[in-house]
């Protein structure tokens, strides 16, 4: 994650604020899901957001792992994008979170930036 964030910062010039706190490992399935969601969220930031700042928080403990990727870019109408019914990053992030027993949230609006959140309780599996 740190490497990808460093590349994003170098290639786009946007400021990266990261807070990665992950002292307790969890299952391979959960970690794979979280990593892929993170990766997909960064692809969307690069492709669509035109952000000047990206904030990423990863917080894990014995009870849950939480990931948040927030950009201050263009934002978009989430319902409209989901209504297109095309299986793209938004849909796959949601599915990956659900398959790993987590919840996925996306908050965005035109002009308001975008925040992707995943909340994965560890008691589920």
Ligand X SMILES: Nc1ncnc2c1ncn2[C@@H]1O[C@H](COP(=O)(O)OP(=O)(O)O)[C@@H](O)[C@H]1O
Positions that interact with ligand X (CB under 6 A): 44-45, 47-49, 71, 73-76, 81, 88-90, 114
CB of 118 to Mg ion, least distance (A): 16
Residue 114 interacts with Mg ion (CB under 5 A)?
A: no
Residue 89 interacts with Mg ion (CB under 5 A)?
A: yes
CB 58 within 8 A of CB 66: yes
Q: Answer with the entry of ligand X, Mg ion, none that 81 interacts with (C-beta below 5 to 8 A by kind).
A: ligand X
Q: Tell me the window of 14-22, 41-49, 59-67, 74-82 that interacts with Mg ion (CB under 5 A).
A: 41-49
Residue 82 interacts with Mg ion (CB under 5 A)?
A: no
CA distance 89 to 30: 18
Residues 6 or more apart whose CB falls under 8 angstroms from that of 81 comprise 90
Residue 94 interacts with Mg ion (CB under 5 A)?
A: no
CA distance 46 to 50: 7
CA distance 44 to 88: 10
Q: Answer with the entry of Mg ion, ligand X, none that 76 interacts with (C-beta below 5 to 8 A by kind).
A: ligand X
CB 34 within 8 A of CB 86: no
Interface positions with Mg ion (CB under 5 A): 44, 89
């Amino acid at each position: 994650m740190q490497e990808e964030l460093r590349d994003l910062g170098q290639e786009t010039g946007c400021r990266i604020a990261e807070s990665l706190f992950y002292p307790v490992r969890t299952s391979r399935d959960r970690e794979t899901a979280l990593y892929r969601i993170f990766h997909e969220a960064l692809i969307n930031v690069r492709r669509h957001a035109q952000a000047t700042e990206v904030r990423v928080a990863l917080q894990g403990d014995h009870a849950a792992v939480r990931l948040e990727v927030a950009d201050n870019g263009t934002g978009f109408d989430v319902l409209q994008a989901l209504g297109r019914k095309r299986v793209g990053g938004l849909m796959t992030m949601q599915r990956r979170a659900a398959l790993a027993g987590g919840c996925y949230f996306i908050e965005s609006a035109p002009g308001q930036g975008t925040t992707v959140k995943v909340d994965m309780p560890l008691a589920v599996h």
